[in-house]
Amino acid sequence: MTLTLGFSPCPNDTFIFDALVNGKLDTGGLRFDVVLEDVQTLNEWALEGRLDVSKISYGVLPRVAREYVLLASGGALGQGVGPLLVARPGLDAFRPDSMTVAIPGRDTTAHLLFSLAYPDAARKQFRVFSEIEAAVASGSVDAGVIIHEGRFTYASKGLVKLVDLGEHWEERTRAPIPLGGIVARRGLGPAVARDVERLVRASAEHARAAYPLITGYVKRHAQEMDERVMRQHVDLYVNDFSVDLGERGRAAVRTLLEVWARQNPGVAVGPDPFL
């Protein structure tokens, strides 16, 4: 059986999936047709039900849970890993009623965490995450929410941190931050989904066992990133939760679903997302 599989070109995803998609594991009867896209595109495709297996933002999980089930392995969840609100020097505070802010996609966890901190923000612009630092630096927006490698590069581009939205989440909820997870189409059936989950876990374990090796596959897809930044990226976003969510990780995801429901009153949350 051949399954379509989507994840992002960011180092944490390519690091986790390298062994699975490059013939380093025995995948039995499963084969994978791989596409790499930014996470907001993957979110939109999940809403359309386009891929069999995909990385998504946890922020879109409530809207796709009827079609997809969440796997316990392969995602990004942790503490101190959240998005940052940044601006040019001289801006003391973000004023949500009057300032523009660039956000990496409507359905991203970054948007959910920003909305938790600034529920009345009225001037949002949704952009591809890799465009946001430049938009802030050029003055086309007043502030921006940065994710991924932006945590390590914003200062070198002349920007300053206003708020760590992940810290705000942790203080409000006392839960780790669910950033992105791996989902499988419910129509595949539980047996196939569990096989995929097992393989993703094995791929993550394979990569961690070889770390600090950064493979050519990871380097090839990293965007304007030196190897030091790639390792910072992996160190931050790949952890024990990436191998298995465990009960603490599942509890954090349920907390996020509750926050999403409060932010979207009257919108039905999908069924229990866990495999």
Q: Flag whether 56 is marked binding.
A: yes
Read off the pLDDT of residues 63-89 as tens digits, 9 standing for 90 and up.
999 999 999 999 999 998 889 999 999
Q: Flag whether 121 is marked binding.
A: no
Residues with active-site annotation: 148
Q: Flag whether 109 is marked binding.
A: yes
Residues 198-219 have a mean pLDDT of 96
Query: What are the structural domain ranges in the chain?
Result: 2-77+178-263, 84-173
The architecture in CATH of the region 84-173 reads: 3-Layer(aba) Sandwich (3.40)
Mean pLDDT of the chain: 94
- What local confidence, expressed as pLDDT, does residue 36 receive? 97
- What local confidence, expressed as pLDDT, does residue 224 receive? 61
The architecture in CATH of the region 2-77+178-263 reads: 3-Layer(aba) Sandwich (3.40)
Residues 123-131 have a mean pLDDT of 91
Do the first three CATH levels of 2-77+178-263 and 84-173 match, i.e. the same topology?
Answer: yes
- What local confidence, expressed as pLDDT, does residue 88 receive? 96
Is the confidence at residue 149, as pLDDT, over 80? Answer: no
Q: Flag whether 27 is marked binding.
A: no
Residues 228-255 have a mean pLDDT of 94
pTM for the structure as a whole: 0.91
pLDDT tier at 92 (50, 70, 90 boundaries)? confident
Q: Flag whether 100 is marked binding.
A: no
Q: Which DSSP letter does residue 267 get?
A: P
pLDDT tier at 180 (50, 70, 90 boundaries)? very high
CA distance 186 to 52: 9
Contact between 62 and 260 under an 8 Å Cβ cutoff? The reply is: yes
221-237 burial: b if 16+ Cβ within 10 Å, else e: bbeebeeebbbbbbebb
Residues 20-42 have a mean pLDDT of 95
